[in-house]
Amino acid sequence: MSNAMQEQPGTPPSAYRIDKSRHIVLAHGGGGQLTDELIAHTLLPRLGNESLGELLDSSIVPGSAGRVALTIDSYVVRPLSFPGGDIGRLAVSGTVNDLAVCGAEPMGLALSLILAEGLERKVLESVIDSVRATADEAGVKVITGDTKVVGRGQADGVYITTAGVGSVNGKTRLHPDQIRPGDVVIVSGSIADHGLAVMLAREMPEVQSVLWSDVAPLNRMIARLLEKVNGVVFMRDPTRGGLACVVADIATRTGLHVVLEELRILVRPETQHAADMLGLDPLEVANEGKVVVVTRPEAAEAAIAALKEDAHGQDARIIGRIEPERDGLCELHTVIGGRRILQKPYGEQLPRIC
Amino acid sequence: MTQRLADSHAAIERLLDAAKALPKPAAFMEICGTHTVAAFRCGLHSLMPANVKLVSGPGCPVCVTSQGDIDMLIELAQRPGVTLCTYGDMLRVTGAKGSLEEARSGGADVRVIYCSLDAVKLAAAEPKRNVVFAAVGFETTTPATAVAVLEAERLGLTNFTALVSHKRILPAMRALLDSKQVNVDGFMCPGHVSAITGYATFATIVRRYKLPCVVAGFEDVQIAAALAKLVELARDRKASLENLYPQVVSRWGNRRAQNLMRRVFRPVDARWRGLGMIPDSGLAFRSRFSRFDAQSRYKITPIDSPEPPGCRCGDVITARCTPAECKLFAIACTPVRPIGPCMVSSEGTCQAWFKYKRQGKSIAASEDAVATPSQEARL
C-alpha cells in the first residue's frame, strides 16, 4: 500500500481545474493502469534506456557482466504500524523481495528517510528497530543511508526510500520472454492479507481486526527454490494491484492466454469477509509476503515442495497455467464454473457505497 | 467449499433445465449494483443459455445520482472552509466541472469516509471546518445518514450538514415499468435494501405488473439460485414474490432503521440520471432538521447541466441499451478516462462489462484507449 500521499487540508479553495492528464492524482500511485500511463508517458520518455525500459522489479547493472542487480522503492504507508508489521519491515521486505524475484541475492541496502517535523523519537526508534530486525531476518545489512527532515505538514510521519543491490547467480535468467505455453503459475500462499490489514487499520481503527499483513522478506525462500528447482522461468511479487496485476501483466507481455482457477486461489475467510465489506476484489489487493512463480510444467511439483520448506510458503499452490492462444488475456475460471477476464486494476481502490 | 460447489452446480443445472422449457426468451433485471458486479465476478453470464438474459437496472447509487447533484458537491468542496466527506465511490464521477478526485488534487479538502458517523466525528473534532457529508445511496445507507444527523443534533454541532441525494428503489422500479420502454420478465431484488425495507416492499410489483420478484443474497451460489428461480417462475408463468435471502431479509425489514429514516427525512420528487424526475423517489430533510441541509445552508441550487455528449449511461441503467451499444464504450470511455458514471463506479454496469466481459478482439482495440504499453512497474 503505497498510495497514502495526503494533500494538505485547507489549501486554497479557488476553482482549480485538475485534470489527470496535466496533474498528478492519487490514482497515479495505485500501481494500476494509471501508474502505467505515468511511467509510459512521463518517466520513460525522459529517463528510458535498455535496463529501465524492461520495467522489471530490479535491473541487472549493465557493464558488470550481468552480475549485479539494482532496485529502489519508496514506502509511504499509513498507519506507520499495522497488524503484522510496520513501515520499517515493509521498507526492507519490499526491496529485498524485488531483488529476490529477479534471482538476485541481496548484498546491501541503502535507506533514505524523510521525517516530518514533530515526529516522536520513540516512533522513529521503533521503525528503525523493525528495519534492523527485518534486515537480520533477510541476512542483509543497511550499508548507507540519508536523513532529511521537512516542515510539519509537508510530509506524513516517516517516508522511507530503500535501494538494494544484489548479486545474480550465473545461470539465472528470469524474464517474461522465457514463458511458454504449458507453463504453470504458482503462488506461495493466501492473497490480499496485507492490503486489507492495512486498509482496516487505516480506515476503521476502532474495528478489532483479525487480519494480519503477510509482509516478510522472501529472499531465503526464493534462493532455496532457485537452488533446488530447474525450470523456474519468471517471478514477481504481487504487491500493489495484487495478483490480478501480475497475471494480467504476464498475459500482456507474453501475448499468451493465462488461465487461473479461482477454486485453487487461497483467500482466508476473514480476508474475504473484509473485502466483501469494503466491496474490493481480493485478486486486486496488495500482498507483501507472497511471490508468483511461473515454472515449466515438469518443475511445478518440485517448486511447490521447495516453497513449502519455508515458513512463508506453507500454502504454496498451483493456481493456473499458460495456454497457447495468442490473445494476451488472462481468464479466471470461477468457482461456479463461469469464466471472466482478469484485468489490471485502475488505480486507487475505492470502497463502495453500499 | 465442496458444499458451495455442489450448491452452485445444482443451481446452474436448474437454470439450464428451466430455460429449455421457456416459452420465449426471457430477460431479468438485477436492481442492485452489487449484484451486477457479483454476477460478472463469478462468471454467471458465461453460463447462461442463449434465451436467458440478465440486465442491469438503476441500482448503482453513483450511477443514478444526477449530474446536478454531483456539480453541487464539487462546488461545495471548493468553497473556503469546507471539508467534504464522501464515500469512496463518488470520488471519480465527473460533473460539468471535473470530479471530486480532481477537486481534491487541486487542493479542496475532500475526505473519503466509510461510515456517516465519521463525518460527525470530524465536525466535532475540527470545529473550524464546515463539514459537508455527501449523503448518497439507497435505503441501505439512508438510515446511517439519519443516525449521523441525530448524533450531530445531540452534540449540538453547527458545522455539520449533509447534501442529501438519497434515493428510494421502489418508485424507480415503478417508473421504469410505467415508461413501457423496458421489457423485463422479472426482478432480482436487492438483498441489502430488502434487509431494511423488508421483502414485502416488492409485493406491489408482483401485484400490479404481474412480474416475479426474487430477493437474492450476494454470494455466487445465491445469485445463481435466484436466477434459476426467476427462470423457473417465468417458465411456469407464475408471478410471485420469493425471498431467497432469509438469513438477512425478513418480511417487514428493520423497523428501527425505517423509523430513523422517517424521523429525519420525508419523500420528495427526485431527478435520476437516465430516468428524469420520479415522484416520491428521493428524500429531503423534515423541517425540524432543515439546519442540517447543506443545500439551504450554502444557498446552492442544482444547475441543470447537460450530460456528456454521446454518453448513454441513462439508457444503460434502464436496460435500453447494453454498454457495448454505446459508441463511447471502451473507446473514448474507459475506467482510466471515464465519461459517464457507469464507467466510474465499481458497481457501474459499464465498468463491470469493461472489466469482466470484453472478449477477443474487442479487448485489443480498447487497450489503445488506455494508451499504455501495459507494463507493471515499481518506479
The tens digit of pLDDT for each residue in B129-145 reads 999 999 999 999 999 99
Between residues B357 and B111, which one has the greater pLDDT?
B111
> If we measure between CA atoms, which residue out of B58, B59, B26, B34 comes closest to residue B227?
B26
- From B46, B347, B372, residue closest to A339, measured CB to CB: B46
- From B83, B358, B372, residue closest to A40, measured CB to CB: B372
Identify whether the C-beta of residue A293 lies closer than 8 Å to the C-beta of residue A97. Answer: no
pLDDT score of B354: 87
> If we measure between CA atoms, which residue out of B105, B72, B73 comes closest to residue A347?
B105
Regarding beta strands A68-75 and A59-60, do their DSSP bridges make them parallel or antiparallel, or are they unpaired?
antiparallel
pLDDT score of A108: 92
- Asked which of B252, B282, B307 is the last residue of a domain, the reply is B307
Mean pLDDT of chain B: 89
Three cell numbers at A148? 532529511
The arithmetic mean of pLDDT across residues A280-300, rounded, is: 96
Looking at the structure, do residues B303 and B317 belong to the same domain, yes or no? no
Three-state secondary structure call for residue A312: helix
Residue B66 lies in a domain: yes
The tens digit of pLDDT for each residue in A142-171 reads 888 888 888 888 888 899 999 999 999 777
Which residue type is seen at B337?
Answer: R
- Rounded to 10 degrees, the C-alpha dihedral A224/A62/A234/A53 comes to 150
A57-168 to CATH, choices 3.90.76.10, 3.40.1130.10, 3.30.1330.10, 3.40.50.970: 3.30.1330.10
What CATH number does the domain containing B55 carry? Answer: 3.40.50.11740
The arithmetic mean of pLDDT across residues B209-233, rounded, is: 96
Q: Which CATH class is domain A176-342?
A: alpha beta
Residue B64 lies in a domain: yes
B residues 152-211 closer than 8 Å to A (CB): 192
User: CA-based angle A193:A74:B372, to the nearest 5?
Assistant: 85
The tens digit of pLDDT for each residue in B100-130 reads 988 998 999 999 998 899 999 999 999 999 9
Q: Do domains A57-168 and A176-342 have the same CATH topology?
A: no
- From B89, B218, B355, residue closest to A350, measured CB to CB: B89
Cα dihedral B67, B70, B74, B75 sign: positive
CB within 8 Å: B78 and A13: yes
CA B327/CA B339 separation, integer angstroms: 12
pLDDT score of A310: 97
Looking at the structure, do residues B111 and B19 belong to the same domain, yes or no? yes
B residues 118-147 closer than 8 Å to A (CB): 129, 136-138, 140-141
CB within 8 Å: B104 and A343: no
What domain range is B120 assigned to?
1-307
Percent of chain A at pLDDT > 90 equals 60
pLDDT score of B270: 94
The total domain count for chain B is: 2
Residue B6 lies in a domain: yes
pLDDT score of B375: 27
Looking at the structure, do residues B143 and B214 belong to the same domain, yes or no? yes
Least confident residue range of A36-45, A69-78, A113-122, A299-308: A36-45
> If we measure between CA atoms, which residue out of B193, B199, B178 comes closest to residue B278?
B178
pLDDT score of B103: 92
Looking at the structure, do residues B30 and B169 belong to the same domain, yes or no? yes
pLDDT score of A151: 85
- Asked which of B307, B340, B359 is the last residue of a domain, the reply is B307
Residue B208 lies in a domain: yes
Looking at the structure, do residues B281 and B298 belong to the same domain, yes or no? yes
pLDDT score of A20: 66
Q: Is the peptide bond before A79 cis (omega within 30 degrees of 0)?
A: yes
Least confident residue range of A35-44, A100-109, B267-276: A35-44
CB within 8 Å: B336 and A340: no
CA A182/CA A215 separation, integer angstroms: 31
Chain B residues whose CB is inside 8 A of the A164 CB are none
| Nearest chain A residue to B82, by CA | A10
Residue B375 lies in a domain: no
Of A108-112, B41-45, B257-261, the range with the highest mean pLDDT is B257-261
Looking at the structure, do residues B205 and B344 belong to the same domain, yes or no? no
Chain A residues whose CB is inside 8 A of the B80 CB are 12-13
Dmax over CA atoms of chain B, in Å, equals 66
Least confident residue range of B135-144, B150-159, B256-265, B269-278: B269-278
The arithmetic mean of pLDDT across residues B320-335, rounded, is: 90
Sorting pLDDT into bands at 50, 70 and 90, what band is B239?
A: very high
The tens digit of pLDDT for each residue in A230-276 reads 999 999 999 999 999 999 999 999 999 999 999 999 999 999 999 98
pLDDT at B164 over 90: yes
The arithmetic mean of pLDDT across residues B242-259, rounded, is: 96
How many residues are there in chain B?
379
Domain spans, chain A: 57-168, 176-342
The packing angle between helices A219-228 and A87-100, to 10°, is 20
